[in-house]
C-alpha cells in the first residue's frame, strides 16, 4: 500500500512524502508537474495540502489528472488549497492590523520565501469541484478537516478556516 503526502514535510506512519524541496523525511524529491516515477494505479491515497495553488490553473488540472492516473480505482484524494473567497473576506475585515493584512496577503499570493513559494491560482469550491470531476474523480465533497496532519489545512485566521479542503475518489473505470 502506497500513500503519498504531496508537499508534506512531517513524517507519519504509513505515508511517503513527495516534495520539490529535499528534507530529512522526504522520500521522493520532484515536481508535481512530473509524477512519471509513479506507475498507473500504484497509489492508494494522496494527500496534497497547499500545493496546487503553486502552479497555473491548467497545470493544476493536469496535476489532478496525474493524481487520478496514479491512484488505484476507487483511491482517495484529499486536497487542500487556500480558500480564496474566505481569505478575501478576512483581508477586507477592517479589524485587521497592517501586520495581519500582510499575513493574509501572503496566504493569497504566497509568502515568496523561496522560488517555490508563489501562488499562481486561487480556488473556490466550484472551481475545485469542476476540476476534480473533469480529472476523473467522483464522490467529490468539501470537508472541514481531513483528520490527518496538523498543517495549513487546519489553520484558522480570526476564527475562520482558511483552507478549502476537498475529498474525492478516483472513478472505478
pLDDT along the chain (173 residues), means of 10: 96 97 96 97 98 98 98 98 98 94 96 93 98 98 96 95 98 85
The pLDDT score that the predictor gives to residue 56 is 97
DSSP one-letter code for 50: S
Of the options 2.60.40.10, 3.40.50.150, 3.40.30.10, 3.90.1300.10, the CATH number for the domain spanning 3-170: 3.40.50.150
Say how far apart CA 40 and CA 89 lie, in whole Å.
Answer: 40
Cβ neighbours of 83 (radius 10 Å): 23
Task: Please report the pLDDT score of residue 172 as a whole number.
Answer: 87
Per domain, the residue ranges of the chain are 3-170
For residue 109, the model assigns a pLDDT of: 97
Nearest alpha carbon to residue 137 among 96, 169, 91: 169
For residues 121 and 60, the answer to whether their CB atoms sit within 8 Å is: yes
Q: Are 43 and 70 in contact (CB under 8 A)?
A: yes
Grid cell for residue 122:
486561487
Amino acid at each position: 500500500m502506497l500513500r503519498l503526502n504531496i508537499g508534506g514535510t512531517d513524517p507519519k506512519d504509513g505515508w511517503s512524502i513527495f516534495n520539490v524541496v529535499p528534507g530529512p523525511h522526504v522520500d521522493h524529491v520532484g515536481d508535481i508537474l512530473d509524477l512519471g516515477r509513479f506507475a498507473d494505479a500504484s497509489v492508494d491515497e494522496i494527500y496534497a495540502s497547499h500545493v496546487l495553488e503553486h502552479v497555473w490553473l491548467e497545470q493544476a488540472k493536469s496535476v489532478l489528472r496525474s493524481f487520478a492516473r496514479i491512484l488505484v480505482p476507487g483511491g482517495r484524494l484529499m486536497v487542500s488549497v487556500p480558500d480564496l473567497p474566505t481569505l478575501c473576506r478576512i483581508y477586507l475585515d477592517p479589524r485587521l492590523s497592517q501586520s495581519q493584512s500582510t499575513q493574509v496577503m501572503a496566504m493569497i499570493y504566497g509568502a515568496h520565501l523561496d522560488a517555490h513559494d508563489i501562488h499562481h491560482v486561487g480556488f473556490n469550491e466550484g472551481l475545485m469541484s469542476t476540476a476534480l470531476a473533469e480529472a476523473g474523480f467522483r464522490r467529490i465533497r468539501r470537508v472541514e478537516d481531513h483528520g490527518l496532519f496538523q498543517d495549513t489545512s487546519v489553520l484558522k485566521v480570526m476564527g475562520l478556516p482558511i483552507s478549502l479542503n476537498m475529498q474525492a475518489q478516483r472513478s472505478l473505470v
